[in-house]
Amino acid sequence: MLSYIIRRILTAIPLLIGITLISFFIVQIAPGDPTSLLMNPDIKPEDKVKFIEKYGLDDPIYIQYFKWVGNMVQGDFGNSLLKKGTPVSEMIMNRLPNTITLMIAATIIAIIFSILIGVYSATRPYSKSDYLFSTGSFLGLATPNFWLGLMLIMFTAVNLEWFPTGGVADLDAPFSIWDRIHHLILPAFVLASADMAAYTRHTRSSMIEVLNQDYIRTAKAKGLRSRKVIFKHGLRNGLTPVVTLFGLSLPSLVGGAAIVERVFAWPGLGSLFIESSFTRDYPVIMALIVLSSVFIVIGNIVADILYAVIDPRIEY
Amino acid sequence: MLMSALLEVKNLKTHFFKKKQVIPAVDGMDLTIKKGETVALVGESGSGKSMTSLSIMRLVPSPGGKIVDGQIMYDGKDLLTISENDMVDIRGNDISMIFQEPMTSLNPVLTIGDQITETLIAHQKLSQREAKKRAVELLEMVGFSRAKAILNDYPHRLSGGMRQRVMIAIAMSCNPKLLIADEPTTALDVTIQAQILDLMKDLSNKFDTSILLITHDLGVVSEVADRVIVMYCGQVVEESSVNDIFENALHPYTQGLINSVPSIDDDIDRLESIEGNVPTPDQFPTGCRFAPRCPKAFDKCSLHMPTLKKIDERSIRCFLYEEEQS
């Protein structure tokens, strides 16, 4: 198992190198160069040369690439082109906890609700409540995040005033967990909605299949209570496809976070990404692309490991 | 043989409902199992043997299947009228069951130990540790030499024969009064078959457990059964002691079954077979259900359904013998 994990991490390295290459050269291809973007057009030519030398902009491209990667490995993502040259790593570290909180909350909501609803539907297939939840899932799958977010803000935050309209916390209130959770509920629910729908569909169909297996009949014949039959004997078998889906849906979680963060004015990496794209703050964009790729790669490794934890027949 | 009845099935009807069609998988089944006795339930595929056993456990696949009529008397209670909670206490404890497919009957994601101990914990209220100790004893009882190591193994590491032993260990864990074995050896190699049958026979003698053995293998029947019940199309067609059946089968269907078993002594080119197939329930004939395939059928057979008649210690559903009696 350990050797498998190490192997997976090693094979992820070429992938990450590819990602850095692509994100680096995309920015290189983009029109314009830092000098024209950053500097006063009336600057003296010798100052311009000084600037170019300072940032190594006259080096061959591959040298620039290695410098960038080399610094990045040491945790230095360079400085923002705007915002008075704040280090990118500092900007990211300020935003990262918010995004992670949001993603974890969304994942927990998606998993808990989808398992409960999926199992409930699977034990009563083709009943009225099953149809109701199925319709709900399809609606959830079909509804765009930003629209759902805006609607929820309009009805539950503006009209009913149950929730704040955005942000991570009340600005004028002292720190409190409840206040944080209160702000978290809507964006986390919106971010969870699409995944929740997909997980529910998969849990339902895989549980229906599992509950018809011989070992479920055995468990019943042993005289186990039906809750134990479903959750102990059924669910662990039924979860395997859902775990795969979880690994696959991480990218959409990362991408979805950008939109949801924007809608709810959530100061996370997603909104940082959108802001930086508008202002063409290339070092920030590149760092965020690399970072989210790392997230996704790690997520997939975790999903594969979870696989083996759930199903002992899978041995690496 | 003056033994009291352990389980009495009376006029059991288990039907399947498919769209507007009603499929009588079990259609008026009577069955009595005495204490310590091994009863074999024999018949071709689709004759309703498995559904009878699942009905006794109240595990008929649902939605679709439903027990529509009858009584299953056990220990003074009708298993068909008690609550699901009371039934849960009986399953695995008083009446346990092993299945045909050892490869798929154990849960692939739980250890063998877990699957044995959970029954003990549920019914005998043992602690985790006591249950583990008992599980080792049970595994040794069914012939595992390294029982302790097996506890932490997963089913996919065991062979079919070993898994069936584990199933037997689970089924015997609470000293049940009745063990229902639904074709327990069908999926196994011949040598393993004999071992498993011996094991079941041993255990039933040791613990005075009755066995309801469901099989289509007459070789197995002759080896272990005391009494034989032959089913055809959801009904009992003949019932008698194992000796009588093999020496003097009365029902033409039973005779056909016995004649279609190859014998090592006779030197024949072709095996005898019963012409035709078991009719599907929607094509049951109006009279005797075996009539269309019966070599001895006469006019009356295709018009009326014969009743199950008692002749001495045996029962038979055939007009050939009704005439004799009257």
Contacts of A214 in chain B (CB under 8 A): 99, 101, 104-105
Is residue B2 very low, low, confident or very high in pLDDT (cuts 50, 70, 90)? very low
Query: Is B297's pLDDT higher than 90?
Result: no
Q: What whole-number distance in Å separates Cα of residue A12 and Cα of residue A234?
A: 33
pLDDT in tens, B226-238: 999 999 988 999 9
Q: What whole-number distance in Å separates Cα of residue B52 and Cα of residue B30?
A: 10
Q: Do A233 and B110 touch (CB under 8 A)?
A: yes
Q: Which of B89, B105, B108 sits opposite A223 (nearest CB)?
A: B89
> Could you tell me the two tokens for B14?
């288990």
pLDDT in tens, B155-182: 999 998 899 999 999 999 999 999 999 9
- State the CB neighbour count (10 A cutoff) for residue A20: 18
B212 in contact with A, Cβ within 8 Å: no
A162 in contact with B, Cβ within 8 Å: no
Surface of B (164-183) touching A: CB under 8 A: 167, 170
Strand order in the sheet with B77-78: B21-34, B5-18, B65-74, B77-78
Q: Do B96 and A228 touch (CB under 8 A)?
A: no
pLDDT in tens, A23-59: 888 877 877 666 666 666 777 778 778 777 777 777 8
Q: What whole-number distance in Å separates Cα of residue B305 and Cα of residue B287?
A: 4
Is residue A216 very low, low, confident or very high in pLDDT (cuts 50, 70, 90)? very high
pLDDT in tens, A87-132: 888 888 989 889 889 989 999 999 999 999 999 999 988 889 999 9
Q: Do A215 and B101 touch (CB under 8 A)?
A: no
B163 in contact with A, Cβ within 8 Å: no
Q: Do A218 and B108 touch (CB under 8 A)?
A: no
Q: Do B156 and A312 touch (CB under 8 A)?
A: yes
Q: Which of B106, B118, B156 sits opposite A224 (nearest CB)?
A: B118
Contacts of A311 in chain B (CB under 8 A): 108-109
Q: What pLDDT, on a 0 to 100 scale, did the predictor assign at position A24?
A: 86
Provide the shortest C-alpha distance from residue A228 to chain B (in Å). Answer: 10
The CATH architecture of the domain made up of B5-94+176-325 is: 3-Layer(aba) Sandwich (3.40)
Q: What whole-number distance in Å separates Cα of residue B54 and Cα of residue B181?
A: 11
Q: What whole-number distance in Å separates Cα of residue A113 and Cα of residue A196?
A: 7
Strands B38-42 and B314-316: unpaired
Of B70, B71, B66, B63, the residue nearest B23 (C-alpha): B66
Query: Is B17's pLDDT higher than 70?
Result: yes
Residue A276 parent element (H or E): helix A269-279
Q: Do A313 and B106 touch (CB under 8 A)?
A: no
Q: What is the ipTM score, two decimals?
A: 0.86
Domain limits, chain A = 2-85, 94-310
Q: What pLDDT, on a 0 to 100 scale, did the predictor assign at position B322?
A: 74
Q: What pLDDT, on a 0 to 100 scale, did the predictor assign at position A309?
A: 82
Provide the shortest C-alpha distance from residue A186 to chain B (in Å). Answer: 37
Q: Which of A217, A223, A237 sits opposite B88 (nearest CB)?
A: A223
Q: What is the mean pLDDT of chain B?
A: 88
Q: What is the mean pLDDT of chain A?
A: 85
Q: What pLDDT, on a 0 to 100 scale, did the predictor assign at position A206?
A: 93
Query: Is B271's pLDDT higher than 60?
Result: yes
- State the CB neighbour count (10 A cutoff) for residue A156: 16
Which comes out higher in pLDDT, residue B187 or B215? Answer: B215
Mutate to test the interface with B, among A123, A211, A213, A218 (most CBs of B within 10 A): A218
Q: Do A237 and B92 touch (CB under 8 A)?
A: no
B121 in contact with A, Cβ within 8 Å: no
Is residue B23 very low, low, confident or very high in pLDDT (cuts 50, 70, 90)? confident
pLDDT in tens, A226-278: 999 999 999 989 988 888 888 777 777 777 788 899 899 888 888 898 888 88
Percent of chain B at pLDDT exceeding 70: 97
In CATH terms, the superfamily for domain A94-310 is MetI-like (1.10.3720.10)
Is residue B1 very low, low, confident or very high in pLDDT (cuts 50, 70, 90)? very low
Q: Do B118 and A218 touch (CB under 8 A)?
A: no
> Could you tell me the two tokens for B175?
């000293």
Provide the shortest C-alpha distance from residue A107 to chain B (in Å). Answer: 24
> Could you tell me the two tokens for B70?
């009858």
Is residue B219 very low, low, confident or very high in pLDDT (cuts 50, 70, 90)? confident
Residue type, position A159, single letter: N
* Residue A164 contacts residue A156 (beta carbons within 8 Å): no
Q: Which of A214, A224, A311 sits opposite B109 (nearest CB)?
A: A311
Q: Which of B91, B110, B123 sits opposite A221 (nearest CB)?
A: B91
Do you find a cis peptide bond into A267, omega within 30 degrees of 0? no
Q: Do A222 and B170 touch (CB under 8 A)?
A: yes
Question: Which residue of chain A is at minimal alpha-carbon distance from B171?
Answer: A222
Segment B196-210 mean pLDDT = 90
Per mean pLDDT, which of A41-50, B130-139, B181-190, B253-262 is the most reliable? B130-139
